[in-house]
Structure 1
Amino acid sequence: MDRELAGCVVLVVEDEYLIADDTAEALRDARAVVLGPCPSADEALRMIDECTPSHAVLDLNLDGSGARFDVARRLKDRRVHSVIVTGYDPFVLPRDLADTLCLQKPVSRHAVVEVLAARPARVAGRRSH
């Protein structure tokens, strides 16, 4: 049985529709509020600027453009608990992101929920401008 994510706001950044939809459904089943899914880094960055989530699940290779780390860095700057779910090996993470949890695809939707539920939530909130 999945652990609870009630009270968590989770940003999903994934460009593969079926993976994004499955991940979002698993998070909602665990009672999380889901932001996205965002299929691009630009969309994810805009969403983070509007509302900082408590947690995030993100892919590194969006739109086939290769690994991008700007979303992971923005989330880390905001102290958002993130898990990278990617087909890349963890060694591709730059040194400044080495402490970000990385799971290799394929990964079960239940594993993603379990990993997020094990990390304490910080309060998500709207950004003031």
Structure 2
Amino acid sequence: MSPILALLLGLTIVLDVAGQTAFKLGLVSAEGPLWRRVVTSPATLAGVAAYGVELLLWVAVLSMAPLSVAFPVAALAYCGVLATSRLVLGERVSGRRWLGAAVITLGVALVCVSAGTD
């Protein structure tokens, strides 16, 4: 995997995690009906912006890497959301969820290693 591809993939993962976290923060901090919380919360709007930038980077990733490699690597966003849920949102995360994140990480490592042999 080239350094630029790795950077782009990393950025899409970070933006995905940031977007999800911003959505959650925006929806729990605002008051009123759901539609109003979605369209008036700065955090929710920041999440939408993060997703917009992520989309542009994801298109660049797909132009450079096989989908069968890029999409599994993007699964690391699940691990990032788990960590952010604990560290930023203060949510309780069970040992089983951490184990699941470790399995995902191992799977991504296997996909990346095997991508070099195809």
The question of a shared fold, defined as TM-score above 0.5 by the shorter chain, is answered with no
Name whichever structure is richer in strand by fraction: 1
TM-score, normalised via structure 1 length: 0.29
Name whichever structure is richer in helix by fraction: 2
TM-score, normalised via structure 2 length: 0.31
